[in-house]
Structure 1
């Protein structure tokens, strides 16, 4: 079995940006701190989970999710994948690289807002 992993540290008040993994499920192991994860599925189904050190999280393949630090110390966790390569798609990067008129019309905002989105991935914000 081949695996890929990422060690993520999120400062208090920060979050792991809304994203999804196009290749496989994600397993998480929480090392320190406290956090909350929102997971989004098809047909407007969403769940929220709270985590602390020693907990294990799971996100099914291609489900959108974010993780925020809810404590006053760094949130540290390990993301693990049963795949030879770590891959993710950030919602901001995806929107910034889609025709801006399409995004603005779809989410009903001014095009200038979409024009200001970063077109490079910001894993932790």
Structure 2
């Protein structure tokens, strides 16, 4: 549940990648085992309440997740270049248009 601020949330499922915008008062349920990414898109801090139905919680970055996924799968499913996936392995930060920032 979003308590304050504005956020863009992208959810990665087997069927599709979807992006949604949220404001205070909105509620989102992310399906089990689906990767997701949240970005602050407003001028104030995003505050939210997260509830997990699991005794264990792990958090890691999207860059880490993509870096351990076989490169051919990342390229095929996200329509990105080989340069993009190589940058993940080298710890560089790729940006949305596929351009790699050193």
> Normalised by the size of structure 2, how large is the TM-score?
0.65
Structure 1, unmatched stretches of 5+, are 1-28, 119-125
* Gap runs ≥5 in structure 2: 76-81, 94-102
Tell me the SS of whatever aligns to 2:49: strand
| Partner residue, 2:83 | 109
Counterparts of 1:48 and 1:111, CA distance in 2: 22
Deviations 1:44-97 (A, max 9, x none): x1222211111111100111211111111111112210111222343322445x
Question: Would you identify which runs of 4 or more consecutive aligned residues in structure 1 move more than 4 Å?
Answer: none
How many pairs were matched up? 86
Aligned to 2:52: 81
Q: Relative contact order, CA 8 A, sep 6+: which one is greater?
A: 1
More strand by share: 1
Q: Return the match for 1:91 from 58, 62, 83.
A: 62
TM-score, normalization: structure 1? Answer: 0.55
Aligned to 2:3: 31
Measured at CA, do residues 34 and 82 of structure 1 come closer, stay the same or move farther in structure 2, by a change above 3 Å?
A: same
Contact 2:2-2:23 within 8 A present in 1 as well? yes
